[in-house]
Amino acid sequence: MFIAQPYDTRMSISSDIRSSVHIPMIYEPAPSILLHWEYHVLTIDPQEVCLPDADQLNAFGREGWVLVDILDEHMAQKGKLIHYYFVRQAKD
């Protein structure tokens, strides 16, 4: 176990620096499991197709997909498509 020693104010150049309470750090080995992910992009042209509703998004959720981002090209003045980005842990 590592216990930090209080800051020694005698070593400081400025007298207005005060020591603070130090919190000891405990290091534990992290599992070395490499996770694999898979991605799904749902691209919609809102002029041709309706945007996904709660039922459609819930269907993705039941399959394990998590919505992580939405990119609306119209907001960036780059186009008219909307991209929905999903991710889930790959089934190895």
68: left (phi over 0), alpha (psi -120 to 50) or beta: alpha
What is the distance between the alpha carbons of residues 40 and 10, in angstroms, rounded to a whole number? 58
What is the per-residue pLDDT across 51-71, written as a single tens digit (0 to 9) for each?
999 999 999 999 999 999 999
Residues of the chain with confidence (pLDDT) below 70: 1-19
pTM of the model: 0.62
